[in-house]
Structure 1
Amino acid sequence: MESHTKCPLLLTIILSALLSLSAAKDTIAPGDLFGDADSLISADGRFKLGFFTPGRSKSRYLGIWYATIPVQTVFWVANRDRPLPDSTGVLCISGNGNLVLSDASGAVYWSTGAATGLASPVARLLNTSNFVVMGASGEEYAWQSFDHLTDSLIPGMKIGWDLRSGKNRNFTSWRSGDDPAPGEYTMVMDLRGDPQPFLLRGTTPVWRMGPWTGRRFTGNPGMTSVGHLFTFNFRRSTDEVVFSFDVVNPSTLSMLRAHPTGLLERLLWNETAQMWDRFWFAPRDQCDVLATCGPFGICDTSYSPFCRCMPGFVPRSLGNWNMGCMRRRPLKCRKGSDGFVKMALVKLPDTSASIVNYAMGLDCRTACLRNCSCTAYAYTEVAGGSRGCILWGGNLTDVRVNPIGGGDELFVRLAKADRSRVNI
C-alpha cells in the first residue's frame, strides 16, 4: 500500500540527474522523475513549471511563471512555506495521484495530500497555467493549483468561495522579493451582507473594494473604462461567490498581485519596453484608508481637510474624525417625517451588515422607509439588467468621493427638518 501513496525514493536523485523530461512536455506520470533541471511547458508554450531561486535567496522553490517573456514572473509557488536548501529537489506523482516534492534524503517539502482514487493519474500544466492532477479521461481534477493561490490572480483564476465544498480561495503577498513565504497582506472575499473583497494586513482590513454594482466594484469605478483590455466577472450564486477577470486580447499579459509593501496592484506587460507596467493600484491615497473619516463621514481628497460630514450630520469631535459624525436631528420614523438626500459619485458604504434584495426592483426607497433602522439605500444591478436594492442599517462607514469620476448614488435617510436644507 505504501508504494502507491509515496513516490519511489531509492535512487531518485541519481536517476533524476540522468533522466530529464523533454522541454516540451506538459505532463508528469507515475514513474517520471522531475528534477531541478527539468520543466513542464504548457501545450501552447505560454507557461512554465520548474524550480527557481528568487532574488538574493539561495533556496529553491517549485513554481509557475510566464514562459514567453524575459522577466521571470512567478505567480504560483508550491513550497512557499518550506524552501528546499539546495538543488536536489524532485517532484513526482504516486500511483494514487499524490504529488510529492522531496529532497535527496527523502524529506517531503510539499505534497497535495491524500490519495485521489483516480485510475492512471497524471499531473499536467494546462494552457490556463492551472497545474492539475487528473485521471486518464481528463474529465475531472482531483487537485488543482487554482484552488491554492499564491500572491496573484491571472486570467482563469478565481478569488472567493466555493460554497459547495467550503473552499476559500484568496491570495497573500510574498514576505519580500527574496522570500515567497506568506507575507502580511491578503486579498479575501468577505461574504457578510453584500459580498465584497477586502485587503487585509494580518487579520485587520486596510482597504475595501466594496460591493459589485453590476459592471464593477464600487471602490474601483475605473473598471468600466478598460473594457477594451479586460472583462471582469463576478458570480454570486448558491454554488459560489467569486471574482475573476479575462483579457480581451489573448496576447495581453496581466495580473492582479498583492505586493509585499501592502499594495494591491494590476500589472500589464509592456511588450515594447519589455517590462511590467503598474496599470492600477490601491490603496492610492488617505481616502482609501478604511473608514478614515468615521461613521457618516465622507472622505474627499479635493477638500482640505479631506473629511467632512454627510448632509444632515455634524462632527462628533472636530479634532478626531475617527469618531465620525452624528445627526443634527433624530429620525422620526413616521409617515412623511423622513426622506433622503442623494449623494452622487461615491464609493458605497461598507456592506458587511447590509441587507440585499435582488428582486425588489424600484421599491428601495419604500423598503427603507418601512424599516425604522434603515439609514440608507442604493440600487444594484442584477442579471438581465434589472435592479435590486442594498439597504443599510446603523452606521455608514468608508464612504469617499471617487477622484477619477464614476461612482454610485447613495440615498441617505434624513429627518424632515434636515430635508429642507438639501435636495431630496
Structure 2
Amino acid sequence: MELVRSTNLSALLVLLSCFCLQFGSAIDTITAAKFINDSETIISNGGDFKLGFFSPPNSTDRYVGIWYAEISVFTVVWVANRNNPLKNSSGVLTISEDGNLVVLDGQKKILWSSNLTNSVVNLSAQLLDSGNLVLQGNTTGTFLWESFQHPSNTFIEKMKISTDVRTGKKVQLTSWTSPSDPSIGNFSAGIDARNLPELFIWNGSRPYWRSGPWNGLVFIGLQNMYSVFHDGFSLVDDKEGTIYLSFSSSNDSFPYTYVLNEQGNLLEAYSNNSGEDWEVTWSSYKTECDVYGKCGAYGSCNSHNSPICSCLRGFEPKNTEEWNRGNWTSGCVRRTPLQCERVNNGSDGGKKDGFLKLTMMKVPDLADWSSAREENCRNQCLENCSCIAYAFDAGTGCMPWTRSLIDLQKFSSGGVDLYVRVAYSELDTKEKVKVIITVSVIIVLIFTGICTYLLWRWMAKQNGRRKTKMLLYKFSGEEKLGDNVNQVKLQELLLFNLQELASATNNFHQSNKLGQGGFGPVYRGKLSNGQEIAVKRLSRDSGQGQEEFMNEVVVISKLQHRNLVRLHGCCVEGEEKMLVYEYMPNKSLDAFLFDPVKSKLLDWRRRFNIIEGICPGLLYLHRDSRLKIIPRDLKTSNILLDEELNPKISDFGLARIFGGNGDQANTTRVVGTYGYMSPEYAMKGRFSEKSDVFSFRVLLLEIVSGRRNSSFFDDEQDMSLPGFAWKMWNADNIVALTDPIICEPSFEMEILRCINVGLLCVQDFANDRPTVPIVISMLKSEIIDLPLPKQPAFTEREIAPDASSSQNNQSKCSVNNVTVTMVQGR
C-alpha cells in the first residue's frame, strides 16, 4: 500500500514539473497553442506589466489591455479592441493560423487583429518589461508588429511618438471617448514636422494645442520647461525621413506617464507613495491662452489681462464688433502698410520699417528656419519683403515668419524675444524723441557726464570700504578672531551699494524671499549682468549684530574652494548690513534628506558623493586655507546643494580662525546646535579640528540613516542618533540603522565602512577621533582595516526626561540665532 502511494506521488510530481517547464517559464508569452481566456493574464518577465481582459469603470464591456502590475491604482496603458468590445467573458487572445495576434469572441469571430499582411507561421507574442507587446518569429527574433507602434492614449517610457516626413505616416496618441469607453475619441497628439518639429494636439483635424519648436533640449513654447525637470526627453531626426519623440526617467522607482485625456489635455503624472497613487505634475492646458489660435492672427493672448486678447501694436481688430463681444478668432489686421508694400503699389516708400520687440513670448506657429547667425537674423528678415517677424533661439537658430502670426502668447517668465515688423510710423514716437534728446545731451555733456559718474562711483565705493574697514578694525580686537584678522585684505572684496541689491531683489519683495533665520531674511536676486545671487540681510531686531556679520565676512572673503559657498561681496550702508552669496538652486541637504519624496532622489551613490564632497571642504578649512578655520556649526541645514547636487559648506557666522601653529582654543560663549557639539566644547568651551570631526559624524550618520539626530530626543529608549547607531552596531543589526532607500547588497560594505567611520568620529576624547585626512583615507578604503569604535559620547540623554518643555525645545534647536535653515534654494 505504501509502495503504491509513493509511486502515485512520484508520478504527480513529474507531471507538475512538466507542467511548470511548459507553462511557468513562459508566463509573458502567447502562442497558437498557449492562448489566454478572459479570466487569465500574462505578466512581463520583470513583473512590471500585465496583459489580459478588463472592464473600464462603470462598464461591463470587456477589452484586452496592458496595465501596470505593481501599482495599486488600476492604470491601463494600451487597449487592443478599442472600438469592438466583448459583451461577455467568452473572449480569447491567441495567434491565428495566418500568424496574426487576434481577439476572438465566443463564436470565434475576430474582433481585433494585428493585421499582418504577410502570412508567417510559428509566431509568438511576448509582453516586454517596457510594456511593449511584440509579435515575433521564433527563429529570427525580429518584431513583426508591436503595440508601441499602435498606442492608445498613454505615452510611457521607451515608446516613440513619430512622424514620417516622406510617407506622412504617424505614430500618435488618441484619446478615449470617456473614462468608461476606450474607443477612439476626438483628440490626438503627435509630432508635426511641416517646418520646425513641434508636439501638437489635434481636435479632429484642427490644431488644439502646440508646444512650440524643439531647440535640442526643450520645447520653447512651453513656459518654464527645463530639460532637468522634464527628465530624459529626446527628439531625434534619424536622417531617413522619420522624426520621433521619446523619454526615459533617470529614477526607475518613479514611473512617469503622459496621458491624453478625453478633454484633449495632455497630463504628466508619476506614481508616488510606493505605487498607491498618481500625482499630476504638469498639464498642457492651464488657461484659455493654451488653446491654439485663441486670439486669431496677430493677436496676443495674456491670461493675466482682462480681456485676455489684444492686438499687437500697429494692428487693429479685423472685426471690431465681434472682438468687443469676446470673439477674437477673426484676429487683427495691420493698421499701416509696410514700406515695401507701399513701393510695390507705386507710392512713395517713405522711411524704412522697424521691428517691435515683444519679450517672453510663445513664438507663433508656422516658423521657417534660416542658417543666419543671431547678428544677421535681423538684417536677413529686414531685406526680405515677405518676412513679417523673426526670433532667435540659441538651440533652434534663426526663425523668420512669412505667414500670418498665429497662436501668440505672452508669458510671465521664460519664452523668447519676438521681433514683429511694423511701419516706421508705428514705432514709439516718445522713444524717438527720447533718443534725439539723449544724443544731443551726450554730444554736449559726454565728458562731464562720464567724469561725474566715475567720481560718484569712486566716492560711493570708498565710503563703503571706509565703513566696512571701520567695523573690521573695531571688531579685530575681539577675543574671537585674534591678531590674524588683519591678514584679510578687505580691499579686494566686492562692495555692493544698497540700491544695486534692492534692484536685484525687486526691493526685497516677499516673492523673492528664500527663507528666514536668526540672522535675518535671505532673498534671491539677479544682478544687472544676469548673475543670480542670494542676499543675506541682517534684521534690525535680530539677536545678532556686527560681530557675527564681520565674522562671516572675514572668514570666507578669501576662501575659494568648490565645496564652500562663495561670498561675492557685502553691503554696509547706514543701518543696513548684507552679505551677497552665490545662489544655490537645490536648497540645503536636509530639504532633500528628510523629505519623504525627495529623499528617494538621493540614492547611495549620490549620498556618498555628498559625503566625499564635504570632506575636501573641511580639509581645506582645517589644513589648506591660508588661515585655519573651525566652522563650529556643521550640520545638514548648512550644507547647500548646487544644480548637480554637489555639496557646499555654508554659514560661517560662528566660525573661528587660528593663526600660526594654533590648533585649539577655549571660549566662554558656547554657541552652535545641540546634538552636533563635541563633549569638550559643550561642557568646557574647548574647540579644535576634532570638534568639527565630531559634528561631521552626525552628518555622516544622518546621511546613512535618513533620520534627523533630533528625531531621537523624544524616544524613550534611544537618546541620540549616535547612541542608536552604537546600539545597532553592537547588535550587528546595521539594516535597522540604514535608510531603506539605499539598502542594496552591492553597497553593504561601503555603508558599513561609513557607519564605522561615523562611530570613530564621535569618541568621547578628541585624541581618539581621526583627523579629516584620515577620515578621507578611511572612506576611500586607503586604510583597509578600520579600528573598532568605542562607545560614543552623549549616549546618555542630553536633556532629562522631566525637563521643562522649554528646555526640551532648546535641545532640538540651535542655541544661537545666527544659523539659517533655508526653505528654498539660495
Distance 1:228 1:287 in 2: 23
For residue 389 of structure 1, what is the aligned residue in structure 2? 398
Q: Would the alpha carbon gap of residues 276 and 149 (structure 1) be closer, same or farther in structure 2, given more than 3 Å must change?
A: same
Distance 2:314 2:214 in 1: 27
Instruction: Indicate the structure with greater strand content.
Output: 1
Taking the TM superposition and a 5 Å limit, the aligned residue runs for 1:24-423 are 25-94=27-96, 97-116=99-118, 120-137=122-139, 139-163=141-165, 166-224=168-226, 227-228=228-229, 230-236=231-237, 237-271=239-273, 274-316=276-318, 317=320, 319=324, 320-333=327-340, 337-351=352-366, 354-357=367-370, 359-362=371-374, 363-382=376-395, 387-403=396-412, 405-421=413-429
Offset at residue 294 of structure 1 (A): 1.8
Q: Which letter maps to 1:227?
A: V
Aligned residue identity for 2:362: K
Q: Give the aligned residue type for 2:386.
A: S
Contact 1:95–1:120 (CA under 8 A) maintained in structure 2: no
Measure how far apart 1:200 and its partner are: 2.0
In 2, the alpha carbon distance for the partners of 1:398 and 1:101 equals: 43
Spell out, residue by residue over 1:218-251, the C-alpha distance to the aligned partner (whole angstroms, 9 max, x if none): 3323331x61562211123443122222212122
Kindly provide the amino acid, as one letter, of the partner of residue 423 in structure 2. A
Structure 2 contact 72–275 (Cα < 8 Å) conserved: no
Partners of 2:167 and 2:124 in 1: how far apart?
23
Deviation at 1:288, TM superposition (A): 1.3
Equivalent residues of 1:377, 1:391 under 8 A apart: yes
Overall identity of the aligned pairs, in % = 37
Displacement of 1:80 after TM fit? Answer: 0.5
Q: Kindly indicate whether structure 1 or structure 2 has the higher relative contact order, using CA contacts under 8 Å at least 6 residues apart.
A: 1
Kindly tell me: are residues 220 and 53 of structure 1, through their superposed partners in 2, closer, same or farther at Cα, counting changes over 3 Å? Answer: same
Deviation (angstroms), 1:95: 5.6
Larger radius of gyration: 2
Q: Which has the higher helix share?
A: 2
- CA distance in structure 1 between the partners assigned to 2:267 and 2:92 by the alignment: 33
1:173 aligns to what SS in structure 2? strand
Greater Cα offset, 161-170 or 78-87: 161-170
Per-residue CA shift, 1:172-213, capped at 9, x if unaligned? 111111111111221132332223222222223222222223
The superposition leaves residues 304-329 of structure 1 with CA deviations (integer Å, 9 ceiling, x where unpaired) of 22222223333342525333233332
RMSD of aligned C-alpha atoms? 2.7
Q: Measure how far apart 1:115 and its partner are.
A: 4.6
Contact 2:198 2:210 in 1 (8 A): yes
> How many residue pairs get matched?
398
Match for 1:70: what amino acid?
A: S
Q: Distance in 2 between matches of 1:420 and 1:229?
A: 40
Deviation at 1:380, TM superposition (A): 4.2
Deviates more, 1:207-216 or 1:286-295: 207-216
Q: For the residues of structure 1 that align with 2:301 and 2:256, how far apart are their CA atoms?
A: 31
Partner of 1:409: helix, strand, or coil? strand
Secondary structure at 2:278's aligned position in 1?
A: strand
- Gaps in structure 1 of 5+ consecutive residues: 1-17
Secondary structure of the residue aligned to 2:191 is strand
Moved more, 200-209 or 100-109: 200-209
- Tell me, yes or no, if the aligned pair for 1:76 and 1:150 is still in contact at 8 Å: yes
What is the distance in 1 between the residues matched to 2:234 and 2:50?
26
- The alpha-carbon distance between structure 1 residues 183 and 23, as it changes in their structure 2 partners (threshold 3 A), is farther
Counterpart CA distance in 2 for 1:22 and 1:80 is 30
1:355-414: per-residue Cα shift (whole Å, max 9, x none)? 223x333332232123211111122455xxxx52222113111111124x2112212112
| Offset, 1:116 | 4.4
Deviation at 1:273, TM superposition (A): 7.9
Unaligned stretches of 5+ in structure 2? 1-18, 341-348, 436-826
Would the alpha carbon gap of residues 323 and 175 (structure 1) be closer, same or farther in structure 2, given more than 3 Å must change?
closer
Query: d(CA) in 1 for partners of 2:229 and 2:309?
Result: 35
Please state how far the C-alpha of 1:106 moved relative to its aligned partner.
0.9
Residues 209, 219 of structure 1: 8 Å contact kept? yes
Contact 1:199 1:206 in 2 (8 A): yes
SS in structure 1 opposite 2:382? helix
User: Partner of 1:355: helix, strand, or coil?
Assistant: coil
State the alpha-carbon separation in 1 of the partners of residues 243 and 69 from structure 2.
Answer: 31
Is the Cα–Cα contact under 8 Å of residues 173 and 183 in structure 1 kept in the other structure? yes
Deviation at 1:111, TM superposition (A): 0.8
Distance 2:222 2:268 in 1: 12
CA distance in 1, matches of 2:252, 2:118: 33
- C-alpha separation between the residues in 1 aligned to 2:168 and 2:269? 30
CA distance in 1, matches of 2:167, 2:128: 23
Mapped partners of 1:43, 1:276: distance in 2: 24
Structure 1 residue 50: Cα displacement: 0.9
1:14 match = none
d(CA) in 1 for partners of 2:385 and 2:331?
22
CA offsets, 1:149-174, max 9 Å, x none?
10111111122313466531111111
